[in-house]
Structure 1
Amino acid sequence: MPSERTRSLIQIRDFLVELPSDEAVSETLRTQARRLLRHYQSSTEILLAGKLVERRTGRLASPFLSSIIE
């Protein structure tokens, strides 16, 4: 479902944001997280894309997306 994909993408972004500050993680992984974040969409862009997919597919917005976007 679009809402589940959207939620997963946002959770991945949050994970990548936290990773570089975690000293328990190797420098290689922290560097890779920073590189990926440079090109990763913002949470706002991800939510808007999810909303567009829901509208295009004719599905009603889930409570997750409705509460954040509208």
Structure 2
Amino acid sequence: MPQLVTVTVDRPDHRPIRFWVPVLPVALVLLPVVVLVVLAAIVACLVFRIRVVRALGAGWRVVSALPA
């Protein structure tokens, strides 16, 4: 797992801007948001009578098929 990610923002008339983003702090900050989204998806599946495991599996397949 990388410790640092470089994000480059290209600007048409200037030099590109580079940001060095540490992975672990960003992942720790986003983890509660991911947990809330999964819980909301489970509640939505129960309300609309959709099988939770199949819906989460389909969502995972969509996310894993996205280009890196």
Query: Which interval holds the TM-score relative to the shorter structure?
Result: 0.3 to 0.5
* The structure with more helix, counted as a fraction of residues: 1
Higher Rg: 2
TM-score w.r.t. the length of structure 2 is 0.36
* The structure with more strand, counted as a fraction of residues: 2
